[in-house]
Structure formats: structure tokens, C-alpha cells
Amino acid sequence: MSQKHPSFFQSVERNFDRAAAHTGLPKGLLEQIKVCNAVYQMRFPVKIGGEVQVIEAYRVQHSHHRLPTKGGIRYAMSVNQDEVMALAALMTYKCAIVDVPFGGAKGGIKINPRQFSEYELEKVTRRYTTELIRKNFIGPGIDVPAPDYGTGAREMAWILDTYQTFKHGEIDAAGCVTGKPVSQNGIRGRTEATGRGVFYALREVMSFEDDMKKLGLTKGIAGKTMVVQGLGNVGYYAAKISTTEGDVKLIGVAEYEGSIHKPDGIDVDALMKHRKETGSILNFPGATNLPKREDALELECDILVPAALENQITPENAPRIKAKIIAEAANGPVMADAEETLLKKGIMIIPDMYINAGGVTVSYFEWLKNLSHMRFGRMEKRFNSNTYENLVSTVERLTGKVIGPKERSILTRGADEIDLVNSGLEETMIEAYRQIRDVYVSNPDIKDMRTAAFVSALNKISSDYMALGIFP
Ligand code: GLU
């Protein structure tokens, strides 16, 4: 990145300052919220392919106003202290926005996971976890990691196993990490949670007729066009669920190897299959290859979903962005010094700290499941379905009509874990947007949704700090 841009953490601070001006909160309190409370930088040796490599890694706890702290662990060559600090800060605001009672944290290991064998990745992950245990930087009531870019359920299972090895007999040990495989104390629906949350959020945002009119759009998500950058866990599920459940048309995709455009719609599963077979999204039947990797970002569309890494929309390409809505599925995809250009063009930016909060929301459900030692739905599923059975039978008796077997099974079903997770997520995304929008509508000085989201978060975090009694 060239020197003139603010760093990622500076971008977050800049956005924070812009919002802080609208809160009227005391300076000292704002300063305490803004800083990173604890930064643990570590270096440890791991034998990779017969040679010792010194691995650089981090865990940052941004805010302890609520415990545990929470946030994913990223494996990427781009990992550095500034990035992990920025991501940890975003976690604090994200958790507050969706009323998840955690402080923010983030971890990162500077490796390219694709260049490591599974065995080597396991060694690195276990060693990293051991370092966290040694410094008391992990635990169900202390700091709870989760997947992020370059990590998934497999790494979380290694973290749990390492933790349990050291903390033998700790009854809530399973809550030391989330995003685990379902078979190892994970929760159904966690893998797709961030992408599903993006869909629920967009559907809610687009349900306000007046707001959409200002963008030149009709109300409702159905029939709108979408472009996605990044077909990882977040981008893939955001595209998949928006097209299948929301009737959105996916017209463009940007990936590492290039961009494609297909105005009549892309079947994302067919594209994934094509990529698996050919090693690339390019040359997808019926689609046009675009000359440059990021070109799809500049396509004319209703919704642009950057779901890869930070700093993708820069002062350089911002003037050419033609989307009406930018849904920040990744963390920090819009550089702070590109934002003004986008807002001036009348583009609505739905900020990362709200729109990608589905992941941590379902992580919260997983953590609760681990602490309760019981699957959601176990107590009430059968009771509810028996009650609905009785109701349906009574209606049949009173009307003299019989309800068909298919309808009957829909009407009498008790909720499973996945139903409860998805409904909890849906409720969370809807409620959080309404709170942000209320801030936006009731403060004419606030001109964008990021500032409104920040103000919503700051009001909640500050009241937690006030409860401590040290701030006036
Ligand atoms: N890494 C995800 C995020 O950036 C999820 C964090 C979590 O579940 O704790 O929000």
C-alpha cells in the first residue's frame, strides 16, 4: 500500500472520531473505548519440512468492557500488528451493535496456509494455542477465538483439543473457541452464518421504501442485481442465500484469478464447480471475462458485496464504482479516504461492523450452547410439536375437514437447533438495523450508515463503562 493512505487501524480510528463527535461522551471515556487494551505479539519456532521457521503471530484484545473478548484468527501473509488491531477494534463495535455481550479481539498468524501441509498447520495452530494459554489469553470467560480468513472448523477443533489437554477437567472448556465442527461441540448454521446474516441485513435495509427511493431503487431485495468479490465462506453463502432465498440476480464475481460478468445471472454452485474443475472462475460458460482482477467491482449493479479482504475500494477506483449499495461483508473493504467519494456519489454503504456480524452472533449462540451443555431445542421441540398436533386435530374435528399429510407435517413441526439458530440470527440482524436506522433518522447531522452504526455501538459500550463507576 502506498504511503499516503491511512493504515487500516488509522482508518478505523478516523471513522470512530467522526462518529464520536455526535455522541457528546466525555473525552477520557471515548479515548478508553478507542484504544487497544492488550496487544500480544509472539514469535515461536516450528519445524516445517525439516527446517525451523520462526512464526510471527498476534492476539489483540481491544476492549474488556465485557468479557470474554471475542474474535477470529486469521492465517495470511498480510497479517501484521496494525491489521490485527484494526480487526479487534471492529469486533468491539460489531458485538455491541448486535447485542452480543463480548469485548472485541482478533488473532493472526503470518503464514500462507496454502504452502503448509495439514500436519504443519496443525503444529502451528497447536503451538499458537499453547502460547495463548501460557499468557492467559484464551478461555471461555477470557478470550474466545473463532474462524476468520484462512481458518475454519478444522483449526478450531485443534485449538479446543490443545486447550483441553492443558485444562483437563475444566467443565466449560468447549466454550474456549467457537466455529468448531458440529461433532465437536459446534453449532449447526455457524459455517454459513456470516453470509446468511448479510442476506438478512440486505433484505431489511431494502425493505424501507423511502430509503430505496433515494437510491433510485424500488423496495425489496427480489430481482435486484448483485456483484460479489470473493467466493470464500462469506461471499459464497451471501451469494448463494441471496439468490436462492431472496431472488437476487448475481451478475458479476471477482476472485483472485480474475473477474467475470454475466448479466442474465450466475448460478453460484455451477461457478464453484467450474472453478474446482478448471482452477479458475474465468471462462465460465455464458460469462464474459473482464480484463483485470478487480474489474467486477466497477460493474453497474444494485448491490456490491466485497467479501474478501480490507482496502479493496480505494481513492483510485472509488470514482468508478457504480453500485447503489455497498454491503461490506469483509472487514474494512472501503478505505477511509475513499469513503467520501462514494458517499458524494449517493452510494449507501452498509458498514462491516453491522452487515458481517452474523458470524459472531452465531458464535455467541455456540458459546451459550457450550456453557449450557445442551443442544438448542432439546427441551421444547417435542412439547411444541405435540401441542401443534393437538391444535391441528382440534381444528379438523371442529371443521370436519382433514389437513393433508404434507401440510400437517409443516404445521406440527417443533424447532430444531438450526431453526432456532437461523431465527435468532434473523431477529438479531433485523433489530440491529432498526436501531442503527433510528440513530440515522433521528440525527440529521449524521449523513451515513457507518457513523450511525458507530454511534449506536458507542452508546451501548459507554453505558457499560459508566457502570464501572470510574467515568463521570
Ligand atoms: N471472524 C469473524 C468476524 O470477523 C467471526 C468472529 C467470531 O465469531 O468470534 O466477525
Quickly list DSSP for 410-458: HHTPPPPHHHHHHHHHHHHHHHHHHHHHHHHHH-TT--SHHHHHHHHHH
pLDDT at 469 over 80: no
One domain for residues 255 and 155 = no
Distance from C-alpha of 32 to C-alpha of 204, rounded to nearest angstrom: 33
One domain for residues 283 and 154 = no
One domain for residues 172 and 288 = no
Q: In what order do the strands lie in the sheet with 69-75?
A: 38-48, 51-61, 103-109, 69-75, 143-147
- For residues 154-179, average pLDDT: 98
One domain for residues 59 and 153 = yes
**pLDDT, the chain, mean:** 96
Q: What is the DSSP code (8-state) at residue 6? A: P
One domain for residues 176 and 296 = no
pLDDT band at 445 (very low <50, low <70, confident <90, very high): very high
Domain count, the chain: 2
Q: How far, rounded to the nearest angstrom, does the alpha carbon of residue 61 sit from its chain's CA centroid?
A: 18
One domain for residues 139 and 274 = no
pLDDT in tens, 22-32: 999 999 999 99
- For residues 110-139, average pLDDT: 97
Instruction: Identify the residue whose cell numbers are 479515548.
Output: 31
pLDDT band at 49 (very low <50, low <70, confident <90, very high): confident
Reduced to 3 states (helix: H, G, I; strand: E, B; else coil), residue 322 is: coil
The pLDDT value recorded for residue 291 is 87
Distance from C-alpha of 319 to C-alpha of 372, rounded to nearest angstrom: 51
| For the CA of 87, the nearest atom of ligand 1 | 4
Distance from C-alpha of 163 to C-alpha of 389, rounded to nearest angstrom: 45
- For residues 163-185, average pLDDT: 98
pLDDT band at 471 (very low <50, low <70, confident <90, very high): confident
One domain for residues 293 and 338 = yes
Angle at which helices 8-20 and 336-344 pack, to 10 degrees? 50
Catalytic entry in 4, 70, 94, 106? 106
φ and ψ of 261, to 5 deg = -135, 130
Distance from C-alpha of 6 to C-alpha of 335, rounded to nearest angstrom: 8
**Can you name the residues that pair with 226 across neighbouring β-strands?**
250, 303
The pLDDT value recorded for residue 334 is 96
Beta strand segments in 262-383, E? 288-290, 303-306, 325-327, 348-350
For residue 250, give the CATH number of its domain: 3.40.50.720
33 in any annotated domain: no
Ligand 1: centre distance to CA 440 (Å) = 25
One domain for residues 311 and 260 = yes
Cis amide prior to 68 (ω within 30 degrees): yes
Domain termination site, one of 287, 322, 346: 346
Nearest to residue 192, comparing CAs of 313, 67, 307, 88? 307
For residue 54, give the CATH number of its domain: 3.40.50.10860
One domain for residues 154 and 282 = no
205 in any annotated domain: no
pLDDT band at 467 (very low <50, low <70, confident <90, very high): confident
Pocket flag, ligand 1, residue 72 (CB < 6 Å) = yes
pLDDT at 61 over 60: yes
One domain for residues 253 and 180 = no
**Can you name the residues that pair with 75 across neighbouring β-strands?**
109
- Provide the domain limits for residue 273: 216-346
Pocket flag, ligand 1, residue 148 (CB < 6 Å) = yes
pLDDT in tens, 104-118: 999 999 999 999 999
- For residues 403-425, average pLDDT: 97
Domain termination site, one of 291, 314, 346: 346
Pocket flag, ligand 1, residue 71 (CB < 6 Å) = yes
87 in any annotated domain: yes
Instruction: Decide if 196 contacts 241 (C-beta within 8 A).
Output: yes
Pocket flag, ligand 1, residue 341 (CB < 6 Å) = no
Distance from C-alpha of 80 to C-alpha of 84, rounded to nearest angstrom: 6
The pLDDT value recorded for residue 468 is 74
pLDDT at 53 over 50: yes
One domain for residues 174 and 54 = yes
| For the CA of 190, the nearest atom of ligand 1 | 8
pLDDT band at 50 (very low <50, low <70, confident <90, very high): confident
**Can you name the residues that pair with 143 across neighbouring β-strands?**
69, 139
Ligand 1: centre distance to CA 131 (Å) = 21
pLDDT at 128 over 80: yes
The pLDDT value recorded for residue 472 is 66
6 in any annotated domain: no
Q: What is the pTM of this model?
A: 0.96
pLDDT in tens, 203-234: 999 999 999 999 999 999 999 999 999 999 99
Pocket flag, ligand 1, residue 178 (CB < 6 Å) = yes
106 flagged as catalytic:
yes
One domain for residues 283 and 333 = yes
Distance from C-alpha of 303 to C-alpha of 95, rounded to nearest angstrom: 24
421 in any annotated domain: no
pLDDT at 2 over 60: no
| For the CA of 149, the nearest atom of ligand 1 | 1
pLDDT at 307 over 50: yes
Question: Distance of CA 373 to CAs 41, 166, 370, 393, Å?
Answer: 33, 20, 5, 35
Distance from C-alpha of 33 to C-alpha of 471, rounded to nearest angstrom: 12
Ligand 1: centre distance to CA 50 (Å) = 34
The angle at the Cα of 96, spanning 422 to 230, to the nearest 5 degrees, equals 60
